[in-house]
Amino acid sequence: MGYDLVIVGGGIWGSSAARAAVAAGMRSVLLLEAGIGLAQESSAKSGGILTDLLTDPGDQALVTRSRALYQEAVDAGGDRSIMLPLGMLTLAEGESVGALTRRRQDLNDRGVAFELLDRSEVALRHPHLDRLADDAMALWTPSDCHVNPNAYAEQVVAQARPQGLEVHTNCRVERLDIGSAQPSVLTESGETYQASRILVTAGTWSRRLLRTADLDLPLLPYRVQLGSLQLAEPHRLPLVWHLASDVYLVPDGEYSLLGGDGTRLSESDPDDYQQTGDEEFEVNVATQLLQLSSLGDRAGLRSSWAGLAGGTPDRRPLLGRVAEGLFVACGDNGIGVMRGPAIGELAARVALDLATAPRLRPDRFPPDPFEIRAGFTLE
Ligand SMILES: Cc1cc2nc3c(=O)[nH]c(=O)nc-3n(C[C@H](O)[C@H](O)[C@H](O)COP(=O)(O)OP(=O)(O)OC[C@H]3O[C@@H](n4cnc5c(N)ncnc54)[C@H](O)[C@@H]3O)c2cc1C
C-alpha cells in the first residue's frame, strides 16, 4: 500500500500541487522537501513580481489563475502579505517605447487596467523618479502585485494537512524507482515511499532527479540575481521595470528596494553555483538606480544573492507524464512565482488524469543543448 500521490519538492509549485491534489479528493498525499522548510529555494529568493504584461496567452492564463489562488490564500488565512497590489510602472525610452505602445491593444482586449504616461505625468506621480530620459514613457498597470511565495506555500499546505496531506521537510529524495510494479522514491536517509503516482516539482534539480530513473529533460538551470538597496530616505515607489536596462525595482519597506537585472544566460549547477550576486551585477543595479532617481545618490547595497531558474527551449514549463506513474513540472524560466500556484494546480490535475496540457508536454523537445533566453520580457 502506498500513497495516492507523492510530490517531490516543496517550492511554490510543489506546495500548490499538494493543495490541489487534496482539493481534488486525494486523501493520501505526501509532499517531500529537502530543505528545512517549504519554498526556501528559488521561491524564497525571488523578487515576487506578478504582472499581467506577459505576452504568451498561455502564461497570461496562468497568471490570471495564480492571482485567484493567491487571493484565495489571503482570504483563507488573512495574511495580506501573500499578495500586495502595488501596481507596476514599466519605463521605456528611445527604441523601447514602441514595445510599450504595442501592448495597448492586447491589454485593452484582455480588460487589463492600464495607463500610458509621459515623463511629466510620471514625475508628478512619482517625484523620486527624477532622472528619466526626456523621451521617457511609462505603462502603469495598477493591478500588478508583489507576492510572497513562502507565505503562500505555508498557508495552502496548512489548509491541506487536515484533509490528507502529509509533509516531510528535511527529506531529500535520492532516487526515483519506476522499474517495479508500483513507483517509489528513495530518500537520502534510507526510507522508501511507494505511490500510485509520483510528481517531481524539484525546480532546477528536477533533471538530476529524473536521471536517476534514466530519463532526461531539456532543462538548463541559470543564475538570476537580486540585491537589497538601503535608502537614506523613505520612498513610495511601486514596482518599477526599466525596459532599456532590464533592471527592476521591488519595494521592500520604506527604506529599502530590491533590485534585479535579468539573468546570466549560461548553465549553472544547482548543487554548486555562486549564491551571491557578482560584482558586475551589483555595479549595474546601483548604476541604474542612480540613472533613474536621486535616491541612488545616498543608497547602499546591503546584500545581493543569486538563485536559479530553469530554462526550456521555448520558455514554457515542462509539465506532464514522463513514464508510467511518473510526472514532472519544472522549467520556470524565471517567471515561476507569478504563474506558480496555477502551474502547481495544473500539474496535480494532470498527474491525477483530471486535466491535460498538451502544449506543455515534457517530451515536446529532445534533451539536447539549446540557447537559454530570459523569460521576463515584453517580446
Ligand atoms: C533572484 C530571483 C528573482 C526572481 N524573481 C521572480 C519574480 O519577480 N517573479 C516571478 O514570477 N518569478 C521570479 N523568479 C523565479 C521564481 O523564483 C521561480 O520560478 C519559482 O520559485 C519556481 O518555483 P519552484 O517551486 O519550481 O522551485 P523551487 O522554489 O526551487 O522549489 C523546488 C524545491 O524542490 C526541493 N528539492 C530539490 N531537490 C529535491 C530532492 N531531491 N528531494 C526533495 N526536495 C527537493 C528544493 O529544496 C526546493 O524547495 C525569481 C528567481 C530568482 C532566483
Domains defined for the chain, CATH in brackets: 3-77+148-218+312-364 (3.50.50.60), 88-142+221-311 (3.30.9.10)
pLDDT surpasses 80 at 23 = yes
pLDDT at 1: 62
pLDDT at 374: 80
Q: For the segment 260-279, what is each residue's pLDDT rounded down to a tens digit? A: 986 778 999 999 999 999 99
pLDDT surpasses 90 at 179 = no
pLDDT at 377: 78
Arithmetic mean of pLDDT over the chain: 95
pLDDT surpasses 90 at 369 = yes
Contact between 193 and 30 under an 8 Å Cβ cutoff? The reply is yes
Q: Which residues, including other chains, have CB under 8 Å from residue 66's CB and lie 6 or more apart?
A: 50, 338, 339, 340, 341, 342, 343
Contact between 331 and 360 under an 8 Å Cβ cutoff? The reply is no
DSSP 8-state assignment for residue 315? S
C-alpha cell at 346: 495544473
Q: For the segment 69-123, what is each residue's pLDDT rounded down to a tens digit? A: 999 999 999 999 999 999 999 999 999 899 898 888 999 999 999 999 999 999 9
Q: What span, in angstroms and rounded, lies between the C-alpha atoms of 311 and 226?
A: 18
Ligand 1 midpoint to CA 9 (Å): 9
Out of 13, 33, 42, give the residue to mutate to test ligand 1, the one with the largest number of ligand atoms within 8 Å of its CB: 42
Angle between helices 12-23 and 149-160 (to 10 degrees): 30
Q: What span, in angstroms and rounded, lies between the C-alpha atoms of 103 and 221?
A: 30
pLDDT at 15: 98
Contact between 34 and 176 under an 8 Å Cβ cutoff? The reply is no
Q: Is the C-beta atom of 218 inside 6 A of ligand 1? A: no
State mean pLDDT over 14-21.
98
C-alpha cell at 2: 502506498
C-alpha cell at 222: 541559470
For the chain, percent of residues with pLDDT exceeding 90: 92
Other beta carbons within 10 angstroms of residue 80's beta carbon come to 11
State mean pLDDT over 46-60.
95
Ligand 1 midpoint to CA 115 (Å): 32
Q: Which residues, including other chains, have CB under 8 Å from residue 107's CB and lie 6 or more apart?
A: 52, 114, 141
Total-model pTM: 0.97
pLDDT at 335: 96
Ligand 1 midpoint to CA 330 (Å): 9
For the CA of 223, the closest atom of ligand 1 is: 53
Ligand 1 midpoint to CA 252 (Å): 20
Nearest CA residue ID for atom 18, ligand 1: 336
Ligand 1 midpoint to CA 46 (Å): 8
Ligand 1 midpoint to CA 41 (Å): 5
Ligand 1 midpoint to CA 151 (Å): 14
Q: How far is CA 289 from CA 53, 227, 306, 335, in A?
A: 22, 12, 19, 23
Q: Is the C-beta atom of 310 inside 6 A of ligand 1? A: no
DSSP structure string for 269-304 = BTTB---SPPHHHHHHHHHHHHHH-GGGGG-EEEEE
Out of 209, 332, 339, give the residue to mutate to test ligand 1, the one with the largest number of ligand atoms within 8 Å of its CB: 332
pLDDT surpasses 90 at 18 = yes
DSSP 8-state assignment for residue 36? S
Q: Is the C-beta atom of 48 inside 6 A of ligand 1? A: yes
Ligand 1 midpoint to CA 50 (Å): 15
Angle between helices 57-77 and 149-160 (to 10 degrees): 60
DSSP structure string for 59-74 = HHHHHHHHHHHHHHHH
Short-list 92, 109, 110, CA closest to 101: 92
Q: What span, in angstroms and rounded, lies between the C-alpha atoms of 151 and 159?
A: 12
Q: Is the C-beta atom of 3 inside 6 A of ligand 1? A: no
pLDDT surpasses 70 at 311 = yes
For the CA of 344, the closest atom of ligand 1 is: 25
Q: Are strands 192-200 and 3-8 parallel, antiparallel or unpaired?
A: parallel
3-state helix, strand, coil in the chain (%, to 5): 35, 30, 40
Indicate the length of the chain as a whole number: 379
State mean pLDDT over 218-232.
96
Out of 67, 337, 339, give the residue to mutate to test ligand 1, the one with the largest number of ligand atoms within 8 Å of its CB: 337
For the chain, percent of residues with pLDDT exceeding 70: 99
Q: Is the C-beta atom of 16 inside 6 A of ligand 1? A: no
pLDDT at 309: 96
Distance from the Cα of residue 223 to its chain's centroid = 13
Short-list 77, 219, 89, CA closest to 148: 77
Contact between 17 and 170 under an 8 Å Cβ cutoff? The reply is no
Q: What span, in angstroms and rounded, lies between the C-alpha atoms of 367 and 363?
A: 8
pLDDT at 262: 67
Q: For the segment 315-337, what is each residue's pLDDT rounded down to a tens digit? A: 999 999 999 999 999 999 999 99
Q: For the segment 123-174, what is each residue's pLDDT rounded down to a tens digit? A: 999 999 999 999 999 999 999 999 999 999 999 999 999 999 999 999 999 9
pLDDT at 353: 97
pLDDT at 181: 84
pLDDT band at 375 (very low <50, low <70, confident <90, very high): confident
Ligand 1 midpoint to CA 11 (Å): 6
